[in-house]
Amino acid sequence: MIKQYQVRNITVSPGLVLSPMSGVTTRPFRRLIKEFNPGAVGLVVSEFVSVEGMTRGSRRTLEMMKFSADERPYCVQIFGYDVDRMRDAALMVQDIGADMVDINCGCPAPKVVKRGGGCELMRQPEHLQKIVRGVKSAISIPLTLKMRSGWDESSRNAIDLAKMVVSEGVEAITVHGRTRSQLYRGEADWSLVEQVADAVSVPVLGSGDVVDHVSAAARLRGKVAGLFIGRASMWNPLVFSEIMAGSPSALSGNEKLMLQILFRYIELLKEDFPESSCGGKLKQLASQMCRGAAWRKTLLTLNSICEQVRLLELVQSGGFRNSTPAAEELESSPSTSDMTCESFA
């Protein structure tokens, strides 16, 4: 049984959250996941958005916050270092109508931590306190925070940091149970997630290695209020429904369903991205989701979304013969859906 949790007046039900993933959890991907897991995704979070870009008016950065009404409750995650910019950016998140703001304290990427953001904030508790104070003074929507277990094995300070930020008004905390040094290696330490949940009075969510209904059940223990699910949503976009049902996914080996997901993703991508970016995004999902499919390798050789659509149509019609169709062949095969190249114009 999956719990629900409350962040002030917002009920996250069920307590299953699409974890923020830079370059992945764009609006089309979040909508795809919500659509294919009806009633099974309690909250979606944007990819992390730079407060530098936001407060300097970068159009591309601002577009990253865009959301649809059917995504609610919707949280925007921000990252950065400068207190004033963090505060102003959080206010911008509130102004676009998002339901919550989340501060990123977990990103391990050198280009982020070198500038003081992401997991580097776990090494600077006093500065983080100033950021939380500044943001809290500016916004009225709830503030949440996502962190790792610590910087490295010798500084696993998630419990102390959680206590501090909660005393400053943070209303929910997510802990990815790996240190910055671990990056994505090893296993996430869920006993630490439980210890943080025992130590503070707000909902604590766990992140790391939830891949199916079995791993979800094993990790949703004690006072842990819910689960953040990241990479598994690309391997199996139905993972949320699987966890709710408590039984294996309907997607496994189901080519028809895979194609349905890919065609819908193309439609959603078209609404937000230029044609030149859609092919890469489709490959990103297909490379993870379509393992084992005879046509996956061919799909990954095609860069243009038009060629990809033709290939998928060929697969759908039973015409794919496990030999790599040359690009010219795909060009000449008539498109049967309305997903022609022209529709991207």
Ligand X SMILES: Cc1cc2nc3c(=O)[nH]c(=O)nc-3n(C[C@H](O)[C@H](O)[C@H](O)COP(=O)(O)O)c2cc1C
Active site residues: 107
How many chain residues bind ligand X (CB under 6 A)? Answer: 22
Are residues 16 and 240 in contact, defined by beta-carbon separation less than 8 angstroms? yes
Distances (CA, A) of 299 to 37, 105, 126, 314: 25, 36, 49, 11
Considering only 7, 17, 18, 20, the residue that binds ligand X (CB under 6 A) is 20
CA distance 332 to 334: 6
**210 near ligand X, judged by CB under 6 A:** yes
| 24 versus 266: smaller Cβ distance to ligand X | 24
Distances (CA, A) of 53 to 96, 99, 192: 16, 21, 34
Angle at 31 between CA 25 and CA 33, to 5 degrees: 75
Which residues lie across from 12 on neighbouring strands? Answer: 5
Considering only 26, 37, 77, 241, the residue that binds ligand X (CB under 6 A) is 77
| 212 versus 307: smaller Cβ distance to ligand X | 212
**106 near ligand X, judged by CB under 6 A:** yes
Angle at 97 between CA 91 and CA 102, to 5 degrees: 55
| 7 versus 24: smaller Cβ distance to ligand X | 24
CA distance 226 to 233: 16
Q: Residue 101: which of 20, 23, 16 has the closest Cα? A: 20
Question: Minimum CB separation from ligand X for residue 10, in Å?
Answer: 19
Q: Which stretch binds ligand X (CB under 6 A): 17-25, 120-128, 153-161, 261-269?
A: 17-25
DSSP 36: H
Query: Which of the residues 246 through 275 are near ligand X (CB under 6 A)?
Result: none
Q: Helices 255-272 and 305-316 meet at what angle, rounded to 10?
A: 150
Considering only 27, 31, 34, 176, the residue that binds ligand X (CB under 6 A) is 176
Indicate the residue whose CB is closest to ligand X.
230
**109 near ligand X, judged by CB under 6 A:** no
**231 near ligand X, judged by CB under 6 A:** yes
**149 near ligand X, judged by CB under 6 A:** no
| 18 versus 330: smaller Cβ distance to ligand X | 18
Q: Which stretch binds ligand X (CB under 6 A): 2-10, 224-232, 259-267, 328-336?
A: 224-232
Question: Minimum CB separation from ligand X for residue 318, in Å?
Answer: 34
**β-strands 5-7, 16-18 pairing:** unpaired
Residues near ligand X (CB under 6 A) are 19-22, 24, 47-48, 77, 104, 106-107, 146, 176, 207-210, 228-232
